[in-house]
Amino acid sequence: MRLLLGIVFLLASSVAFTQITEEDKLLKTVTAFHKALVDKNTVSINQQTDKGLSYGHSNGWVQTKADLIKDFETNYISYQNIKEDSVTIIRNGTMANVRFVADVTVTMKSAINTYRLKVLEVWVKKGNRWLLFARQAIRA
């Protein structure tokens, strides 16, 4: 009987340790969104952003969701690489802020530049999905 209880306890413990937390899900979503930016995957970008999106750049330029998608489709802006580090996530119910430092390589108006940015992204949970609601970057 003790052996059976021990096995049940070990199985229950291993399941608890392998469960994915909400923060893990959000981090995966954040990474997938940045990959969609690099891949110019406008379908994914559309699915991962809120209709009220405010996407702020370090130079003060702010895009709406429609602007962001249009600018990818017209090649006005193109991301070559986004590498995040020092990611922190703070959740409050169905909202979360994600802060990180990133090296971002981007082409805009035929000029390629790499920027070191400090970024704040605000994500909202709708149903079982996280959507980007706002983003603001400053130069690090």
- What's the mean pLDDT in 45-51? 97
pLDDT band at 91; cut points 50, 70, 90: very high
- Name the architecture of domain 21-139: Roll (3.10)
Q: Where are the domains of the chain?
A: 21-139
**Dist CA 46 CA 51 (whole Å):** 9
In this prediction, residue 109 carries a pLDDT of 83
Cβ–Cβ under 8 Å, residues 103 and 95: no
Nearest 5°: phi and psi at 19? -70, 140
pTM for this entry:
0.84
